[in-house]
Amino acid sequence: MNVRATGAEVAGERTDGAADRAVAALVEKARAAQRVFENAGQEALDTAAAAAAWAIMEPQRNRRLADLSVRDTGLGNADDKFRKNYRKTLGLLRDLHGQKTTGVIARDDASGIVEIARAVGVVAAITPSTNPAATPVNKIVNSLKCGNAVIVAPSPKGYSSCALLIEFIHAQFVKAGLDPDLVQMLPAPISKAATAALMRQCDLVVATGSQANVRMAYASGTPAFGVGAGNVASIVTASANLRDAAQKILRSKTFDNATSCSSENSVVIEAAVYQPMLAELAACGGVLLDAAQKTRLQAAMWVNGKLSEHCTAKSAEVIARVAGLDEIAERHPAFLMVEESGAGSDYPFSGEKLAPVLTVYRAANFAAAADVVRDIYAYMGAGHSIGLHSSDAAQAVQLGVSLPVARVIVNQAHCLATGGNFDNGLPFSLSMGCGTWGRNNFSGNLGFRHYLNTTRVAYPIEERVPDPDDLLGDFFARFGR
């Protein structure tokens, strides 16, 4: 399959008019294919979703995608991307298995309501360079399961990985007799004008990646689901199993070189176990920098106020060398640690780093730890999630009712758990809504139901008019009529 456009479509950065015309041609093909597909029945939808999933899960194809992703984006770790591509897609298939997504999906005789699942049409899938294969396939599988066509707008760095993925999907479609126009992508070179045109012309936008893209999605005039900024913090309490907590933070902080928005950026430790926890983190390969080393690391990681591409999603050893900390690099650290006491723009380590660098805070007690996290999220990351390592289950609920978070992850490796895992009940997703705290219109993990319309048929039932006293009796008793 040749996914590259020719002629005027690739002649540099498109004008708005040219972008509109190029995208319109893709959307027209997608609509024609989707109109047939949405009426093909549940088996056809399930087959298409399975074909797209197997396109990335098959080991040889998965390895090519993982290697290409790291080679062309320079972000992350190929072995971890291989595992992510497989497990996230397998988990999604588990969530979709047996789900009805077309025709009548529910009947309630008592209410007289029949629910009918309907496709949304053509989905614009905006995807990031950090997961240039796993995120597109998640959106493609969800879209197909619900009878939609999908057009992917990859990041420029992730273009090659996405193109290869769609080539693999089309090969599976040929075997299954499916129309390749159901899954397309923007032609190279990827431009903001083309991405914006796609958002305007499609029926639904699902945007994951930079906050600029998310804001563009919400402003496109098309219904959109976008996600908030990551900047996860985890709390370690005095009742935690410190060794277990440290090992799970290690797994989360280092997986794919911390490309995930769900990787901890900060850990807040109760004072009673502060030094023992630092010792456990050191035993896991974490290296705590002194004040001078922290200053040099800060200068390397932020250039003119922006994260440096030389440190983003690189290994801790590479980052240490970029910062001129050769003595640290020679220790082959798994991750770097810096101590911090504040949050906000004057404390850049309190923000998202997309790197295996962990900011460490000391808190007097659990309530103080929650206050530290609240301050961090007031700066960045509100709505996403928080990790908790504790033997007191009630503390998780306390965080859930008091902090601006959509998920509380208890005694787990956060970046592996928050998007769904086989040992928790969250749905598998690579797009986590952050609610109104994160300026999002949803607070769950983006799943197949977000890719559906639902029509409700209302039949007449026996009239049931309540007595006002049954509903207002308590109010009347307390305050009178």
Express each pLDDT in 332-357 by its tens digit: 999 999 999 999 999 999 999 999 99
Cα dihedral across residues 141, 147, 149, 155: positive or negative:
negative
The pLDDT tens digits of the residues spanning 13-45 come to 445 788 899 999 999 999 999 999 999 999 999
Domain ranges in the chain are: 7-227+445-456, 233-418
DSSP character at residue 303 = E
Query: Can you give the length of the chain in residues?
Result: 481
Question: Per-residue pLDDT for 112 more than 80?
Answer: yes
Question: Per-residue pLDDT for 330 more than 60?
Answer: yes
* Domain 7-227+445-456 falls under CATH 3.40.605.10: yes
The closest alpha carbon to 126, from 143, 103, 102, belongs to: 143
The pLDDT tens digits of the residues spanning 261-277 come to 999 999 999 999 999 99
Mean pLDDT of all residues in 137-164: 97
Q: How many helical (H) and strand (E) elements, i.e. helices and strands, does the chain have? A: 17, 17
The one-letter amino acid code at 43 reads E
Confidence (pLDDT) at 9:
37
Burial string for 190-213 (b: 16+ CB within 10 Å, else e) reads bbebbbbbbbbbbbbbbbbbeeeb
Confidence (pLDDT) at 15:
53
Question: Per-residue pLDDT for 6 more than 60?
Answer: no
Question: Cβ neighbours of residue 74 under 8 Å, at least 6 residues apart?
Answer: 157, 309, 313
261 catalytic per annotation? yes
Residue 172 token pair: 């599976």
Mean pLDDT of all residues in 192-213: 94
| Distance from C-alpha of 368 to C-alpha of 350, rounded to nearest angstrom | 16
Q: How far is CA 82 from the centre of its chain?
A: 17
Confidence (pLDDT) at 230:
92
| Distance from C-alpha of 250 to C-alpha of 238, rounded to nearest angstrom | 19
- Residues pairing with 224 in the sheet: 205
Q: What's phi and psi for 262, nearest 5 deg?
A: -95, 5
Mean residue pLDDT across the chain:
95
Residue 92 token pair: 């999604």
Q: How confident is the model at residue 160 (pLDDT cuts 50, 70, 90)?
A: very high
Mean pLDDT of all residues in 74-79: 96
Residue with tokens 């006293």: 469
| Distance from C-alpha of 328 to C-alpha of 318, rounded to nearest angstrom | 10
Q: Report, in this order, helix, strand and coil percent for the chain, each rounded to 5.
A: 50, 15, 35
| Distance from C-alpha of 367 to C-alpha of 384, rounded to nearest angstrom | 20
How large is the greatest C-alpha to C-alpha distance in the chain, in angstroms? 79
Active-site hit among 261, 311, 415, 434? 261
233-418 fold: Aldehyde Dehydrogenase; Chain A, domain 2 (3.40.309)
